[in-house]
Amino acid sequence: MRISVIGTGYVGLVAGTCLADTGHRVICVDIDEERIARLKRGELSIYEPGLEELLTRNIEEERLSFTSDTGEAVAKSLLVFLCVGTPSLENGEHDISALMGAAEHVARVMDGYRIIVNKSTGPAGTTARIAARMRELTGHEFDVVVNPEFIKEGAAVDDFLRPDRIVVGCEDVRVLEIMRELYAPFLRTGKPFLAMDLASAEMSKLAVNAMLAARISVMNEFATFCEAAGADVSHVREAVAADGRIGAGYLFPGLGFGGSCLPKDVIACAAWAEKLGLDAPLLRAAAAVNDAALRRFIGRIRSFYGEAVARKRIAIWGTTFKPRTDDLRGAPALRVIDALLGAGAAIHAYDPVAGKKLAALYGDRIRVAAKNYDALVDADGLVICTEWNEFRRPDYDRMAELMRERVIFDGRNLYTPATLEQNGFQYFSVGRG
């Protein structure tokens, strides 16, 4: 099939590359001409394991190409995927203006029948709005499809190639069969192809993110209870995870979830409910618990040092919102850094892949280390914000030699308290009495 993908962020670039890898002809479109030029050279604008190899191979095989000309791409395609960002407005709702703008542009340049596939996240009814607006702008026939993405940053390629399920909202059985054929190579292990109406498909994406956020928030709330009761949340988590009705996923407590999806979509769902005249106490509670977990973690650091924090040098390990990505959007580490900078502390930070982005964001306000141990030189404390694997088995003797004070604030519970005590560290984790 011939496909165009509007937008080359995480969703668009992963979707376009993986679809090309199954033999389709894919043209990815972006208004950022500099980004397009880099992609044509095989240079990624994001860090995503496994993506660069797929991208390079499919460019060389001439199945994948890039352009800033939407008209050129749409003219050569039957399916047009909309993969445009929908960030938060001030009131928490999804900002679908860029998505609507992209759909309007497609309507103006299309020269015949097209299938419009919306992968962007928005409230139920968004794709119907897209269809209504496009009908105002074109006399050509088209069908609309909702095809939400469920990929995780850091595992996006694997999630796309081996999905848990494919969700398709569609009103035409013929179009549905085209979508079923498109995704057949990814469902050979028997994972379900779920066909439904447009609004239900849109709601599915929001419900999944809300459920994940709620699970993390419940464990973060129990982490607080465990600390107060002298219990260990790690043991509690194991007991909960062993329950067949619950399972182990997304039950790790910490300093709070971040990223560009969960925080945004949870708040957007609550704002949308309010707009509909409904209450959403669970969604608002999930967002509030997440915020409280981070504030409590920052408060613990501030409380330990007191006013002396202004004379301290603090090392930060991990600044992305999760490992295996260079994405700083919504990263809890940034709030930690901002709070400590505001208190007068000096920050030496290290992240395995996001160093350049971190330096561009903060400039000379912080020092970005080239290696993890470099950040520890003369540090009065270490704050761990992201659970990169390379942090899990450190050289404690080397850490002790480099640091001025042996203090660790572990926002991801990477270490065992007894081990740190044996090595002479003051250790503060999450949810351990």
Residues marked as catalytic? 261
Q: Among 154, 144, 90, which residue's Cα sits nearest to residue 120?
A: 144
Helix H segments across 162-258?
Answer: 173-183, 198-229, 233-241
Cα–Cα distance, 263 to 261 (Å, whole number): 6
Between helix 332-342 and helix 281-305 the angle, nearest 10°, is: 40
Cα–Cα distance, 175 to 385 (Å, whole number): 45
Contacts with 201 (C-beta within 8 Å, 6 or more apart), sequence order: 146, 147, 148, 167, 168, 169
Start-to-end Cα distance in the chain: 58
3-class secondary structure, 426: strand
* Cα diameter, the chain: 74
Give DSSP secondary structure letters for 269-300. Answer: HHHHHHHTT---HHHHHHHHHHHHHHHHHHHH
Q: Among 7, 18, 112, 13, which residue's Cα sits nearest to residue 68?
A: 7
